[in-house]
A and B are shown apart, each in its own frame.
Chain A
Amino acid sequence: MAEVSLQGEQRVFMTGNEVVAWAAVAAKVDIMYGYPITPQNEIMHYWTRLAPKYGKRFLQTEDEISAGFTMLGGVMTGRKSFTATAGPGNVLMQESAVMAEMMRLPAVYVIQQRGGPSTATVIYAQQELTLTCFGGNGEGHRIVYSTATHQELFDYTLKAFNAAWTYRFPTFVLGDGYQAKMREPLTIYDAESKGVKLVPTEPMVGEFKPGKQFRHLRNTYNTEEELYEVVMANQRDWDAMAPKVVEWFEKDCQDADVVFVCHGVVSRAAMGAIDELRAQGKKVGLFRPITVRPFPEKQLADAVKNAKKVVVAESAYGQLLKMVQVAVCGGKAEIVPMLRPGIGITTEELVEEYNKL
């Protein structure tokens, strides 16, 4: 492991998983709960090396169900806690995620997507988009950041803890196998030195002040009406929060005939394609949701309002496409899907796709 420290800023060259571990240190996380699965393993590897030096803890659980629920236990005591997983592990963690939604627990999950469905590959895909955004018996009251670069892995992991503790909805950082394993340069930093305030935590149970009020936390209800009230209150909070947390990136859309819509690492390939095509005088743009939940629907609709065609490129079979269809429904642009489940998408392929239009 590189000899780096978190004082001020430091330029480093590391893998995405290492970046996440450093970001968790920067976020002053107290404890990580985890279970091995490729391609997120090294988050735990780096964390278990870093944690003792910073007085932090780690628990390796018996499975991802347990990793999710032990993390919720940690969160309830007011300790900053997180877990990380992928693929089938993400499936198992959904049970804890729905409890976090219902009980408004600031849980943080880092997902390094691998190829699904089922065991599939351990390398790369964008097939956990729907699962991560809506994978439970609930309404999908969660924040999901889709990262594209290592700098973003660092920035958004830090931000995920702040968002979770501000709004009390479970928060996901949605990376992927390429981001997890590849190495690239970035700047890591101590949050305060950059003016990023860390949101303070507070215990929900187990705070032993004399004369304190005891608290009963539950996520079971006696009647449909009682449940309705709770879910609707959560929905109202969600609706009030969404405009504050929604993030997107947009380049050259307003005069574009063709707009590419991608998320995660595919949008990096799209950046290359836009530059190349613009240099040839083609009117192309790029729209990238950074929060895939809440989805920047209005912003997308606005970005493509002058376009003739919207090319949705993703390493999955139509998961992003569905979200885009909802957002631009009623618009005049034709949607052209470019769906590559489980495989990467390059700049050259995007240019080729454009030339076929």
Chain B
Amino acid sequence: MQELKENNVLQPAMPECWNEETKPHKFCPGCGHGIILKALGEVIDELDIKDKIVFGCDIGCSLLSWDFFACDSVQTHHGRTTPVITGMKRANTDIVGIAYMGDGGGYAIGSQHLFNAAVRGEKITIILCNNCNYGMTGGQMAPTTLPGMKTETSPYGRDVEQTGYPTKGPEMVAAVAPEGAYVARGTIANVRQLKGFIKKALENQIAGNGISFVECLSSCPTNWRTNAKQTWEFVEKDMAQYFKVGELRTPQAKEGK
């Protein structure tokens, strides 16, 4: 039998900035967090900013990324990742600060921080994973739960009369941020595009323009109780119908004026 050489075997391409020691990662199979973090990892490699980054993660499933990258990182409290990274960037402007969180962390408990960081145009990059529920605590209703969607705390489906409509975070950030902001919504269903958004978000911070915010539509098959087909249908159809994918603000828009 022919001996297998390393370069005969198809190696899965891992971003160089991934911390190999902590792989395979700890997210559930089929989870979108891993896809988003892979896109982010590739961007970090391409921009060659591994040594300039401080990666901050929230409580929620994002905390499982506390040692995900071979970069400086800090795991903080639920909803407080934005102020922690803001404080770092204010104290040391050489840092490239990334705040990574879920929709619960960004739009519920930490919404005042997100809103005010946006208003002040903090020169940080916020990446938010929108999976329509609170993943880590077991699938409760989140600010982003779709109308009629069943969760552990909306067992008969989200009733918008009672609970309001899902939060549109990028729209909110885009509405309040000063010039120089970069705001986009991507999806794990279009990784190439998502990666492009994340890249621009980091380039925007490096250029010192203003706040950069990318929401990523993501999956949580464990709590959705979906199989692979249903998972992708939900991400590609149901979520994308409510949450429009695309760029909402670019710093170039201001120059074009």
A59-B87, A66-B116, A212-B51 known; A219 vs B75 contact (CB < 8 Å): yes
Name the A residues within 8 Å of B51 (CB-CB).
208, 210, 212
Q: How far is the CB of A201 from chain B (nearest CB, A)?
A: 11
Within A22-80, which residues are at the interface with B (CB < 8 Å)? Answer: 30-31, 33, 57, 59, 61-63, 65-66, 69-74, 76-79
A62-B112, A206-B54, A208-B94 known; A69 vs B66 contact (CB < 8 Å): no
Most chain A CB atoms below 10 A, which of B51, B59, B74: B74
Residue interface bits B48-72, CB-to-A below 8 A is 1, else 0: 0001101000010001001101111
Q: Which residue of A lies closest to B52 (CB)?
A: A208
Q: Complex formed: what's the CA distance from A66 to B91 in Å? A: 14
Residue interface bits A84-104, CB-to-B below 8 A is 1, else 0: 000000000001100100000
Question: Which bucket holds chain B's interface residue count?
Answer: 20 to 34
- Asked whether A194 is an interface residue with its Cβ less than 8 Å from the other chain, the reply is no
Count residues of A near B (Cβ-Cβ below 8 Å): 37
Q: Complex formed: what's the CA distance from A70 to B122 in Å? A: 12
Name the B residues within 8 Å of A214 (CB-CB).
69-73
Name the B residues within 8 Å of A208 (CB-CB).
51-52, 94
Q: Complex formed: what's the CA distance from A69 to B58 in Å? A: 12
- Asked whether B95 is an interface residue with its Cβ less than 8 Å from the other chain, the reply is yes
Q: Complex formed: what's the CA distance from A217 to B80 in Å? A: 15
- Asked whether A81 is an interface residue with its Cβ less than 8 Å from the other chain, the reply is yes
- Asked whether A280 is an interface residue with its Cβ less than 8 Å from the other chain, the reply is no
Q: Is the CB of A73 within 8 A of B112?
A: no
* CB-based A-B contact count at 8 angstroms: 120
- Asked whether B244 is an interface residue with its Cβ less than 8 Å from the other chain, the reply is no
Q: Complex formed: what's the CA distance from A310 to B186 in Å? A: 68
Q: Is the CB of B74 within 8 A of A218?
A: yes
Q: Is the CB of A73 within 8 A of B94?
A: no
Q: Complex formed: what's the CA distance from A219 to B85 in Å? A: 16
- Asked whether B83 is an interface residue with its Cβ less than 8 Å from the other chain, the reply is yes
Q: Which residue of B lies closest to A205 (CB)?
A: B72
Report which B residues bind A (CB closer than 8 A): 51-52, 54, 59, 63, 66-67, 69-77, 80, 83-92, 94-95, 112-113, 115-116
13 interchain pairs, CB-CB under 8 A: A33-B87, A33-B90, A61-B116, A65-B113, A73-B84, A76-B74, A77-B91, A79-B92, A208-B51, A216-B67, A216-B73, A216-B75, A220-B75
Q: Which 5 residue pairs spanning A and B have beta carbons closest together?
A: A73-B87, A70-B87, A74-B91, A62-B116, A205-B72
Given contacts A66-B113, A69-B76, 9 further A-B contacts (CB under 8 A): A69-B77, A71-B87, A73-B88, A78-B92, A208-B52, A212-B51, A214-B72, A216-B72, A219-B75
